[in-house]
A and B are shown apart, each in its own frame.
Chain A
């Protein structure tokens, strides 16, 4: 099962190495990882997506690292999660319109084009990207790159709106 964790760490050399070392030492699996600065000086936020049956031991081992300040698990309902994808699909002049129309349903932008392919960027929830890929896949994916997932805890009590194709991310 996949879990999303957000880990606030001291922005010091070797922190990421310590975290990945702990994962490999303890036999945990990282599915995706994104690191970046926060609004606070000297603090970085690491968003981890992990495959694990349960998180308790993993969270404790993370907390045990001296440079780790806070570990938070994101329940899907309370998480604002985003990923970015760049995808190149086969698009002959005859299918180009269809490909573009499909992509636009997902708010994907065309960022490159050639005689035989189109390249899109799309951002959204993991589910949004998954659905996008399902629809574009049949045209023939030539290349694809996806960022690690980033996440922040939702402030509002509202449950997130269901992802509907073409309606939002």
Chain B
């Protein structure tokens, strides 16, 4: 028998991935994973050859965030696997469903410090929802099926399957996989009816309710239900960084993002509410500030599919374990089925208070007519010109906060970002992943110069693989957020934050990577250059926007501070 005619673990792997409905894999080949790359040639699955495994991992995350499907990344043993640690942890923190397939040195060499050996499952233990090592090729269909099941259900997350080279080469047969092997995994989907009724009771009697919406609503596909519920109970809605797009920003009940760089009204409404309904959110420190001073007068209804989130940071008066969509459906039907609806307490005062905060403390910045360009202004112009019809990916830092603040999100899965881990360099590969998933959508990465330089080589992937993303690089010549902290909290002693404006030459660099390179440094040139960027659809575009290097991101609650003390301008610190 020739090599090609044998059905091996590798064939079983590819067949299993096809069986799970996988259409695209992001990856980088190498020694131990070599066997899997051969049957890939005969598979309908598209392989996007990333330039770095971290990029491949973030592409899988971008793909997953933009669709809700499981993203797949493949890498070799050793350095291939260790390069995946950042995207795995990123996906764990943001509950993004991805499956990572890694090659491993042959079983006989494991533990011998073999070439390109790393204890991948051990490393992954700390940064995945679960990890597997295949020891027998006959198990591959079930392992892959379990991995996809774990990644996509309950609280989604990353799952890693490590496969030694000899197992990839082992002759095997493929059998229809079954889920019979997970006695310890039974996520609760439906909320307890008693707690659902208790929640309705609290919300109905509340004078100052707030719905505190997290990424769980998007993961659960519960945006429509959220809209219906918010309107039914007439409660204002705040959307966390992970939940931007879960509720339309142009809705009268929308208050925007709360927290460290949140909108004043969103943060303050939580502080002053009497009932806080957390839906798929986890009381992250960037939202709560000092947790002891967070929403001091509020009774908490905490809805989460992960029981461990409930009571982790803040005790809940009404804990509801369940999938956000399912619980919202039950909340709505319970509400509608009530025979004796409670008279809503008059919330006029609450809404009047909210309106006065909105009037008094809007998001604000000043764009000097002669420049320098402010990121906020550019984002507003981009929003106006595109009509907001785009999928936005962001890096991490000031530009990310401004993107979240100034882009008016209307739809779930139109915001792809690194929330929990705060991974600089996320935007470019995540945008590439999102664009492969939604080729008809306008996908724009809003990135900073510091972030861009961490993963920009994935634009070569984008050019080569015909993935025409748009990347806006806000060039403020350094690490803006770190600089902001040094200015505010270290007496202006700037240490290691200056990247300079001289190198690289972004348009040239873009051209060298097969993209169209554009640059703008004057406010009056913004609209034409955006128009120009939008006309290019056959190649990726990199638009360098030279911006004010001293601009700071406000509002701001200094780390660990109380959310009652929101700093609106640098003069207040």
Interface on A for B, CB 8 Å cutoff? 9-10, 13-14, 17-18, 21, 25, 56-57, 60-61, 63-70
* Contact yes or no, A63 B182, CB < 8 A: no
B121 at interface, CB cutoff 8 A = yes
Chain A residues near B182: list those with CB within 8 A. Answer: 66
- Select which of A17, A25, A66 is within 8 A of B129 by beta carbon: A66
With contacts A10-B184, A57-B311 known, what are 4 further pairs, Cβ within 8 A? A57-B308, A60-B307, A66-B129, A70-B184
Interface CB pairs A-B, < 8 A, 23? A10-B183, A14-B121, A14-B122, A14-B125, A17-B125, A18-B125, A21-B126, A25-B126, A56-B311, A57-B308, A57-B311, A57-B312, A60-B312, A61-B308, A63-B184, A63-B308, A65-B184, A66-B130, A66-B150, A66-B182, A66-B184, A67-B184, A68-B184
Chain B residues near A25: list those with CB within 8 A. Answer: 126
Known: A13-B133, A14-B125, A18-B125. A64 touches B312 (CB 8 A): no
* Contact yes or no, A64 B308, CB < 8 A: yes
Interface positions, chain B 301-350, Cβ under 8 Å from A, are 306-308, 311-312
Q: Which residue of A lies closest to B121 (CB)?
A: A14
Known: A66-B129, A66-B130. A9 touches B308 (CB 8 A): no
The A/B interface has a contact count, at CB < 8 Å, of 39
Chain A residues near B503: list those with CB within 8 A. Answer: none
Q: When chains A and B are docked, how far (Å) is the Cα of A64 from the Cα of B312?
A: 14
Q: Which residue of A lies closest to B131 (CB)?
A: A14
Q: When chains A and B are docked, how far (Å) is the Cα of A61 from the Cα of B312?
A: 10
Q: In the assembled complex, how far is the CB of residue B557 from the closest CB belonging to chain A, in whole angstroms?
A: 25
Chain A residues near B307: list those with CB within 8 A. Answer: 60, 63-64
- Closest 5 pairs between A and B when the two form their complex, measured CB to CB: A60-B308, A69-B184, A66-B130, A68-B184, A66-B185
Q: In the assembled complex, how far is the CB of residue A64 from the closest CB belonging to chain B, in whole angstroms?
A: 5
Q: B180-222 toward A: CB 8 Å interface, digit per residue (1/0)? A: 0011110000000000000000000000000000000000000
Interface centre among B129, B183, B185 (most CB of A within 10 A): B183
Q: When chains A and B are docked, how far (Å) is the Cα of A64 from the Cα of B321?
A: 13
Q: When chains A and B are docked, how far (Å) is the Cα of A10 from the Cα of B125?
A: 16
Chain B residues near A56: list those with CB within 8 A. Answer: 311
Interface on B for A, CB 8 Å cutoff? 121-122, 125-126, 129-130, 133, 150, 182-185, 306-308, 311-312
Q: Which residue of A lies closest to B309 (CB)?
A: A60
Chain B residues near A9: list those with CB within 8 A. Answer: 184
Q: When chains A and B are docked, how far (Å) is the Cα of A64 from the Cα of B130?
A: 10
Q: When chains A and B are docked, how far (Å) is the Cα of A148 from the Cα of B511?
A: 65
Q: In the assembled complex, how far is the CB of residue A21 from the closest CB belonging to chain B, in whole angstroms?
A: 5
Chain A residues near B133: list those with CB within 8 A. Answer: 13
Q: Which residue of A lies closest to B122 (CB)?
A: A17
* Contact yes or no, A21 B129, CB < 8 A: no
* Contact yes or no, B125 A21, CB < 8 A: yes
- Select which of A14, A64, A68 is within 8 A of B306 by beta carbon: A64
Q: Which residue of B lies closest to A57 (CB)?
A: B312
Q: In the assembled complex, how far is the CB of residue A95 from the closest CB belonging to chain B, in whole angstroms?
A: 50
Chain B residues near A68: list those with CB within 8 A. Answer: 184
Q: When chains A and B are docked, how far (Å) is the Cα of A52 from the Cα of B126?
A: 22
Q: When chains A and B are docked, how far (Å) is the Cα of A13 from the Cα of B312?
A: 29
Q: In the assembled complex, how far is the CB of residue B346 from the closest CB belonging to chain A, in whole angstroms?
A: 38
Q: When chains A and B are docked, how far (Å) is the Cα of A70 from the Cα of B184?
A: 7
Q: In the assembled complex, how far is the CB of residue B280 from the closest CB belonging to chain A, in whole angstroms?
A: 16
Q: When chains A and B are docked, how far (Å) is the Cα of A41 from the Cα of B312?
A: 35
Q: Which residue of B lies closest to A18 (CB)?
A: B125
Q: Which residue of B lies closest to A24 (CB)?
A: B126
Q: When chains A and B are docked, how far (Å) is the Cα of A106 from the Cα of B292?
A: 50
Q: When chains A and B are docked, how far (Å) is the Cα of A14 from the Cα of B312?
A: 26
Q: When chains A and B are docked, how far (Å) is the Cα of A43 from the Cα of B554?
A: 54
Q: In the assembled complex, how far is the CB of residue A162 from the closest CB belonging to chain B, in whole angstroms?
A: 36
Chain A residues near B125: list those with CB within 8 A. Answer: 14, 17-18, 21
Chain B residues near A10: list those with CB within 8 A. Answer: 183-184
Q: When chains A and B are docked, how far (Å) is the Cα of A66 from the Cα of B187?
A: 10
Q: Which residue of A lies closest to B130 (CB)?
A: A66
Q: In the assembled complex, how far is the CB of residue B185 from the closest CB belonging to chain A, in whole angstroms?
A: 5
Chain B residues near A14: list those with CB within 8 A. Answer: 121-122, 125
Q: When chains A and B are docked, how far (Å) is the Cα of A143 from the Cα of B189?
A: 53
- Select which of A21, A57, A64, A69 is within 8 A of B183 by beta carbon: A69
Q: When chains A and B are docked, how far (Å) is the Cα of A9 from the Cα of B311?
A: 25
Q: Which residue of A lies closest to B307 (CB)?
A: A60
Q: Which residue of B lies closest to A56 (CB)?
A: B311
Q: Which residue of B lies closest to A43 (CB)?
A: B183
Q: In the assembled complex, how far is the CB of residue A2 from the closest CB belonging to chain B, in whole angstroms?
A: 22
Chain B residues near A60: list those with CB within 8 A. Answer: 307-308, 312
Q: In the assembled complex, how far is the CB of residue A19 from the closest CB belonging to chain B, in whole angstroms?
A: 10
Chain A residues near B122: list those with CB within 8 A. Answer: 14, 17
Q: In the assembled complex, how far is the CB of residue A40 from the closest CB belonging to chain B, in whole angstroms?
A: 11
Chain B residues near A17: list those with CB within 8 A. Answer: 122, 125
Q: In the assembled complex, how far is the CB of residue A153 from the closest CB belonging to chain B, in whole angstroms?
A: 19
Chain B residues near A63: list those with CB within 8 A. Answer: 184, 307-308
Q: When chains A and B are docked, how far (Å) is the Cα of A18 from the Cα of B121?
A: 10
Q: When chains A and B are docked, how far (Å) is the Cα of A67 from the Cα of B150?
A: 12
Q: In the assembled complex, how far is the CB of residue B171 from the closest CB belonging to chain A, in whole angstroms?
A: 24
Q: In the assembled complex, how far is the CB of residue A103 from the closest CB belonging to chain B, in whole angstroms?
A: 43
Q: In the assembled complex, how far is the CB of residue B339 from the closest CB belonging to chain A, in whole angstroms?
A: 36
Q: When chains A and B are docked, how far (Å) is the Cα of A57 from the Cα of B130?
A: 19
Chain A residues near B130: list those with CB within 8 A. Answer: 66
Interface centre among A13, A18, A63, A66 (most CB of B within 10 A): A66
Chain A residues near B306: list those with CB within 8 A. Answer: 64
Chain B residues near A65: list those with CB within 8 A. Answer: 184
Q: When chains A and B are docked, how far (Å) is the Cα of A9 from the Cα of B447?
A: 45
Q: When chains A and B are docked, how far (Å) is the Cα of A61 from the Cα of B122?
A: 18
Q: In the assembled complex, how far is the CB of residue B355 from the closest CB belonging to chain A, in whole angstroms?
A: 39
Q: When chains A and B are docked, how far (Å) is the Cα of A64 from the Cα of B305?
A: 11
Q: Which residue of B lies closest to A61 (CB)?
A: B308
Q: Which residue of A lies closest to B159 (CB)?
A: A66
Q: Which residue of A lies closest to B310 (CB)?
A: A60
Q: Which residue of B lies closest to A68 (CB)?
A: B184
Q: When chains A and B are docked, how far (Å) is the Cα of A96 from the Cα of B107?
A: 55
Q: In the assembled complex, how far is the CB of residue A28 from the closest CB belonging to chain B, in whole angstroms?
A: 13
Q: When chains A and B are docked, how far (Å) is the Cα of A41 from the Cα of B184?
A: 15
Q: When chains A and B are docked, how far (Å) is the Cα of A70 from the Cα of B150?
A: 18
Chain A residues near B183: list those with CB within 8 A. Answer: 10, 69
Q: When chains A and B are docked, how far (Å) is the Cα of A63 from the Cα of B185?
A: 9
Q: In the assembled complex, how far is the CB of residue A24 from the closest CB belonging to chain B, in whole angstroms?
A: 9
Q: When chains A and B are docked, how far (Å) is the Cα of A94 from the Cα of B183?
A: 60
Q: Which residue of A lies closest to B312 (CB)?
A: A57
Q: Which residue of B lies closest to A66 (CB)?
A: B130
